[in-house]
Amino acid sequence: MLNSALLNGAADLIAEFGGDALDIARRSKIPPAALFRGDIPVLGYSMTDFFELAAAECNYRYIGIELAEREKEDPLGVLGALIDSARTVGEMLIDLATHFDVFSEAAVVSLERTDGGMITTFEGRAGHCESEVQMVEFALARTVLSIRRRSRPDWSPTAVVLRHAAPRELTRHREIFGTGLMFEQDRNGIFYDQSVLDSPWRARTARNRADAIHALRAADAGRKPLMAAKVEVAMRSRMNLSEATIEFVTAQLGVPSRTLQRKLEAEDTSFRMIRNTVRADLALKYVRQSRLSLTQIAEILGYSELSAFDRAFRHWHGRSPTALRRETTIEAIAT
């Protein structure tokens, strides 16, 4: 579930473009009151569908970025309180990635240390949506804008990578993300160099970190995170799914292979099933949202032969990737 505060300003923005926010909410299975109140739980896939429908209905490619700029309320609840207690930008990002599942299990936020900094990534969980262009750009833009407001006013990321195709006009994207934009990549993420990670993080309100951690643990006490979700997060941290082996995942999670497989069996799934679910999800999004060749998509998903990818895609989605490409227009993303 997501907090309806994420929709703050959406009704006014949609009205400016002549759209009907209430109708879009209804079609997305979102309670109409969620457009005007910030305390209503909303299903993650409904929120993502709302963003995509709003962009299509308004014929405005930049809905996600625009809403991120208008965001005023803090939708993160107890996670927001912990983030407020962070001392540096780096600590804030670690808090966000480590505890995002307390806020929502509909999306995955992960981080990876690199030479000279850190990469954080964001994307929806497998099976939650077929298109997430607007939600991804909203989430990444909101993080960048928060850092500008609370730490580095003139900062722009060194690099921002996105899975989907580029729009024809990049002015709005460059205003938010700078010039280091790369589209049709193997993840959605932002690179933060060490200088920005070390920058002081100014809290909106004074927060005691121990109290914030206690509140977060209390909110998380009744929740039982599924091992399958943890495995998916670990898989998605790899740029190429061929690298997301069971050996890699068990090392990431610190769980012996037999223990991992036993816990997955108790959840009526398996490592292979989760990997195929992630592959199916990413395959559909790449075919629909990017101009990458099918050979490139197959390589990202860990297939050495295009024919094997084609067979798998037919099994998952009932038609070939070539057929879906013919039925899908990238114009909705590019315009």
Contact 163, 91 (CB under 8 A): no
pLDDT at residue 332, as a whole number:
46
**First-to-last C-alpha distance (Å) of the chain:** 30
pLDDT at 127: 62
Question: CB 64: neighbour CB atoms within 10 A?
Answer: 22
Over the stretch 131-188, which tens digit does the pLDDT of each residue have? 789 999 999 999 999 999 999 999 999 999 999 999 999 999 999 999 999 999 888 9
Q: What is the structure's pLDDT at 202? A: 87
Residue 81: the pLDDT is 83
Integer Cα distance of 274 and 232 in angstroms: 7
Q: In terms of pLDDT, which residue wins out, 131 or 274? A: 274
SS3 call for 40: coil
For the stretch 77-90, pLDDT in tens is 778 888 888 999 99
Q: What predicted TM-score, i.e. pTM, was given to this entire model?
A: 0.82
Q: HEC states along 189-229? A: EEEEEHHHHCCECCCCCCCCHHHHHHHHHHHHCCCCCCHHH
- 1 or 61: which carries more pLDDT confidence? 61
Say whether pLDDT at 251 is over 70.
yes
Element (H, E) at 148: helix 133-150
- The band of 225, judged by pLDDT with boundaries at 50, 70 and 90, is low
- pLDDT at 331 (0 to 100): 46
Residue 329 has pLDDT above 70, yes or no: no
Give pLDDT tens digits for 276-323. Answer: 999 998 899 899 889 999 999 999 898 989 999 999 999 999 999 999
* The pLDDT of residue 206: 63
The partner residues of 2 in beta bridges, in order of sequence, read: 42
Q: Identify the pLDDT of residue 258.
A: 93
**What are the two backbone dihedrals, phi and then psi, of residue 166, each rounded to the nearest 5 degrees?**
-75, 145
Please say if the pLDDT value at position 221 is more than 80: no
What percent of the chain is predicted at pLDDT more than 70?
A: 92
What confidence category does residue 130 fall into, taking pLDDT thresholds of 50, 70 and 90? low
CATH of the domain spanning 227-334:
1.10.10.60
CA separation (Å) from 13 to 10, 18, 58, 70, 316? Answer: 5, 9, 9, 9, 37
| Bridge partners for 111 per DSSP | 120
* Residue 327 confidence (pLDDT): 82
Tell me the domain boundaries of the chain. Answer: 63-197, 227-334
pLDDT of residue 66: 94
Please tell me the predicted confidence (pLDDT) of residue 209: 83
The rounded distance, in Å, linking the Cα atoms of 312 and 291 is 20
